[in-house]
Amino acid sequence: MTHALIIGGGIAGAVTAMALQKAGIESEVFEAYASGADDVGAFLVVFENGLAALRVIDADRPVIESSFPAGRVEFLSYTGKRLGERPLAGAERADGDAGGAPDGPGPRTMRRATLYRVLHDEATRRGISVQHGKRLVAAETVENGRIVATFSDGTRAEGDLLIGADGIHSVTRKLIDPAAARPRYTGHNTVCGYTRDAKNAPDHGTYSMFFGKKAFFGCTRAPDGETWWFANAPGPELSREDLAGTTADQWRHRLAGLFDEDNTPAADIIRSTGETIVGSNSYDIASTPRWWTDTMVIIGDAAHAAAPNAAQGASMAVEDAIVLAKSLRDQAGNRRAFKAYEELRRERVEKVVAASAQMARRTAVGPVRRVVRDTVLPHRALRSEAGAADWLTSYRIEW
């Protein structure tokens, strides 16, 4: 039986292992960290296309049960002016928590760490091996056509193929193509926080998005009353050490200052937040020329990464995992399977990266941009984003 080595125990890695199992392919997952829950403070949205892909491998229910619905999004100017609102992509085809639409529930909000946990728990329940503390440092194809992975602790593993689900700073991507460009820093730090003391919090099920003078802010309210928020703040790329060393108080002081001049609740929500604040750099990868070799292939953020504006990172990773497993099931040999996978995925994911970059440009600050944005958004931009959402979220995989 074919045996796959999956590098990376995040969303893409766990889903790939379950999809391969459904396709009759054995696998092992090797995670670099002691646990899979990096970015523990961040939260995300799994859209209906991601949920539909999880449904292919019967893994959607744990995600739905560990999340809450997101129904609408409203846009507001830094002056407090309401610019418009619309259903969040896919929400118009669902009916709250129960998922009244034939295709199931609409978008779901959850912490990234929670998504990691439920997917890992489900993979473990299915008997899939997940090893932690295994950081990939090298991989080579040996004489019998198999591939041997070497980890930083000196251990090795051998398989018929290696799947790089190791994220935006992928080691596998560099092994496939040493000339591959590094991820592009978007010029923004993305910061997330949680507070139970916020005033003027949005209604449950609504995302409020504020186009501030100096930064962009979004928030929603969980069913238990806690406000979840994020901010995209212009600033320099921070080193790993700088990110780890920045305290919640420092983030709070910096971010609140960016919104103090705005007539919105953003600054107050930030100041009401205690220690649950975490920041990261925002990156994207517009295109990776080489996705595979005879024995290695990359998926998810390792192959393509979008700025967070479209909130499709998790859903794209899940789609990749299902399509790759299906290609390996249906095609004879790694090369044909990898080629089929790339042909099915490249155009879509690069279009998502481009769409997210365009959304990021709309949130850019500056007096001219603010005037254009506040004039155009209630009309053309809202309509175009609603149309874009259809091709984003209506995607389905026939297993």
> What letter does residue 305 receive in the DSSP assignment?
B
Q: Quick one: pLDDT at residue 359?
A: 78
DSSP 252-282: HHHHHHHHTTSSSSHHHHHHT--S-EEEEEE
Q: Quick one: pLDDT at residue 34?
A: 81
* Burial group, residue 199, by CB count within 10 angstroms (0-12, 13-18, 19+): exposed
Which residues is 216 bridged to in the sheet? 211, 232
Confidence bin at 236 (pLDDT 50/70/90): very high
Residues 6+ apart with CB under 8 A from 339: 292, 331
pLDDT of 178 higher than 60: yes
> What letter does residue 98 receive in the DSSP assignment?
G
Q: 3-state secondary structure string, 129-140?
A: EEEECCCEEEEE
Q: Determine which of 15-19, 155-159, 306-310, 380-384 has the lowest per-residue pLDDT on average.
A: 380-384
Q: Quick one: pLDDT at residue 100?
A: 40
| pTM for the structure as a whole | 0.90
pLDDT, tens only, 5-59: 999 999 999 999 999 999 999 999 999 988 655 555 789 999 999 999 999 999 9
Q: Nearest-CA neighbor of 300 among 151, 119, 152?
A: 119
Q: Quick one: pLDDT at residue 357?
A: 83
Q: State what percent of residues in the chain have pLDDT above 70.
A: 87
Q: Quick one: pLDDT at residue 40?
A: 59
Give how far Cα 357 sits from Cα of 13, 167, 348, 353, Å.
Answer: 25, 19, 14, 6
Per the prediction, the chain carries an average pLDDT of: 89
pLDDT, tens only, 265-286: 999 999 999 999 999 999 999 8
* Spatial separation of the C-alpha atoms in residues 5 and 334, rounded to whole Å: 13
Q: Quick one: pLDDT at residue 204?
A: 83
Torsion of CA 52, 58, 60, 63, to 10 degrees: -160
Confidence bin at 335 (pLDDT 50/70/90): very high
pLDDT of 208 higher than 50: yes
Give how far Cα 153 sits from Cα of 33, 137, 274, 282, Å.
Answer: 12, 9, 37, 30
Structure tokens at 277: 């604040």
- Comparing 87 with 362, the larger pLDDT belongs to 87
Task: Name the amino acid, one letter, at 395.
Answer: Y
CB 211 within 8 A of CB 196: no
* Spatial separation of the C-alpha atoms in residues 270 and 300, rounded to whole Å: 31
Other C-beta atoms within 10 Å of 143: how many?
Answer: 5
Buried b (16+ CB within 10 A) or exposed e, 83-119: bebbbbbbbebbeebebeeeebbbbbbbbbbbbbbbb
Which residues is 194 bridged to in the sheet? 228
pLDDT, tens only, 210-232: 999 999 999 999 999 999 999 99
